[in-house]
Amino acid sequence: MKPPQQQRGNVEGVLLSRKLFSSLLIALIVSLGLVCLYYGTSFAPGLRHRDHHPADGSDPVFRSFVAAASDEDEYPSSLSRDAADLVVKSFPVCGMRFSELIPCLDRNLMNQLKLKLNLSLMEHYERHCPPPSRRYNCLIPPPVGYKAVIRWPASRDEVWKVNVPHTHLAGEKSDQRWMVVNGDKINFPGGGTHFHFGAARYIVHIAQMLKFPNDNLSNGGNIRTVLDVGCGVASFGAYLLSHNIIAMSLAPNDVHENQIQFALERGIPSMLGVLGTKRLPYPSRSFELAHCSRCRIDWLQRDGILLLELDRVLRPGGYFVYSSPEAYATDEKNRRIWRAMSDLVQRMCWRIASKKNQTVIWVKPLSNGCYSRRDPGTTPPLCSSDDDPDAAWNVPMEACITPYSKSK
């Protein structure tokens, strides 16, 4: 049957628009392909800087963006005006000079914003996030030549050097066996400032001090979470895993810069942070054991406020393992600090569980009993009853003891 004239006209029209559509589609695919190819090569690590690496270290693709964003004071008005209600579909990559930017811990920005930070309170190691107009909205690029990470458990002992291109710590801490440069890798022999002979032996020593069965620090599963304060490259936390213990390792970006970068590259739970003026970001009673070996913290400052913060995050009967000259050195200065610390922890109702071989282990009480038996007016006071011990985000520390809730 012959189709009517009108219908044929329609069919031709459809065919024509189909042709047009498919050629448009092909053009679109080709141009997308070209765009991908261009961006693909400029994102590929190692390729990026081979040909056109501008002197300022910024990425050629996004140079204009980065130049605007990194400008000291001036932002293009469109960027600052729209930054708050920007709906982002994709992020550009930041220039290479931002490859180690940590947005809320950016010392350069803190200087530029002229924040009044009290260095003796360590406020400069605390979080200070940029206002919306100073946010970069770009992705931090990996270091040039970045390799796929070595996976746990091999990563406990080695990482690619090119992934954390900072080796001055290896030189500085070589005698303490923190880490050793070995060709294109960095090795971690497991040492620390206090435990040159390795974290594994040190952990067994702690378990022995506490008379735990089988020299196993987990004590039959009673110790599961540990907070390591001033952790270095976090070897202590790394070796706790074989005792079935998860440690959170904490250190600031201080003179041992990049220590947390190494810890994270090794796959050890860790975070940049400091005992300064704000609570640690954990609810009360988060950890069964806290540890500090030569963490260089003055625990006596401000009426013991930092030790009281450790006390808050320790569970009932939790331990504080302290390996530091203050606990064992015999010179007058360290003896004086030891006496003052002993006095403070006694008023906090801690008692010594064991003291041996340059390490003291205190244990926190199991109930409120000891607190209520203290002489009236004894410092530190108990925190007020409207204090929420589990509020942890951006909460200022206070020099008070967090009691257990009444129902306990």
Ligand X SMILES: *[C@@H]1O[C@H](CO)[C@@H](O)[C@H](O)[C@H]1NC(C)=O
Binding residues vs ligand X (CB under 6 A) = 118, 120-121, 205, 214, 216, 218, 220-221, 242-244, 357
Nearer to ligand X, 57 or 220 (CB): 220
Rounded to a whole number of angstroms, the minimum distance from the CB of residue 221 to ligand X is 5
Rounded to a whole number of angstroms, the minimum distance from the CB of residue 241 to ligand X is 9
Rounded to a whole number of angstroms, the minimum distance from the CB of residue 376 to ligand X is 27
Please tell me the distance from the alpha carbon of residue 254 to that of residue 272, in angstroms, as a whole number.
Answer: 10
Confirm if 56 and 96 have CB atoms less than 8 A apart: no
Alpha helices, H only, 59-154: 63-70, 77-82, 107-112
The encoded tokens of residue 370 equal 């000891």
φ, ψ (nearest 5 deg) of residue 81? -65, -40
Nearer to ligand X, 200 or 366 (CB): 200
Nearer to ligand X, 97 or 224 (CB): 224
Nearer to ligand X, 83 or 122 (CB): 122
Rounded to a whole number of angstroms, the minimum distance from the CB of residue 207 to ligand X is 9
Please tell me the distance from the alpha carbon of residue 248 to that of residue 226, in angstroms, as a whole number.
Answer: 6
Confirm if 321 and 289 have CB atoms less than 8 A apart: yes
Q: Which helix (H) or strand (E) holds 159?
A: strand 158-160
Q: Between vectors from CA 240 to CA 239 and to CA 244, what angle results, nearest 5°? A: 130
Q: Which helix (H) or strand (E) holds 320?
A: strand 314-323
Rounded to a whole number of angstroms, the minimum distance from the CB of residue 279 to ligand X is 17
Confirm if 141 and 99 have CB atoms less than 8 A apart: yes
Nearer to ligand X, 81 or 356 (CB): 356
Nearer to ligand X, 214 or 394 (CB): 214
- Read off the amino acid at residue 223: I
Nearer to ligand X, 357 or 378 (CB): 357
Rounded to a whole number of angstroms, the minimum distance from the CB of residue 150 to ligand X is 23
Please tell me the distance from the alpha carbon of residue 124 to that of residue 212, in angstroms, as a whole number.
Answer: 40
Nearer to ligand X, 207 or 234 (CB): 207
Nearer to ligand X, 22 or 244 (CB): 244
Rounded to a whole number of angstroms, the minimum distance from the CB of residue 46 to ligand X is 40
Confirm if 199 and 155 have CB atoms less than 8 A apart: no
Rounded to a whole number of angstroms, the minimum distance from the CB of residue 205 to ligand X is 4
- List, in sequence order, every residue forming a beta bridge with 396; answer none if it has no partner: 278
Please tell me the distance from the alpha carbon of residue 156 to that of residue 407, in angstroms, as a whole number.
Answer: 42
How buried is 50 (Cβ within 10 angstroms: 0-12 exposed, 13-18 middle, 19+ buried)? Answer: exposed
Q: Please compute, for residue 308, the number of CA atoms within 13 A of its CA located in the half-sphere on the CB side.
A: 26
Q: Which of 303, 310, 324, 292 is nearest to 364 (CA)?
A: 310
Rounded to a whole number of angstroms, the minimum distance from the CB of residue 198 to ligand X is 11
The encoded tokens of residue 54 equal 């501008």
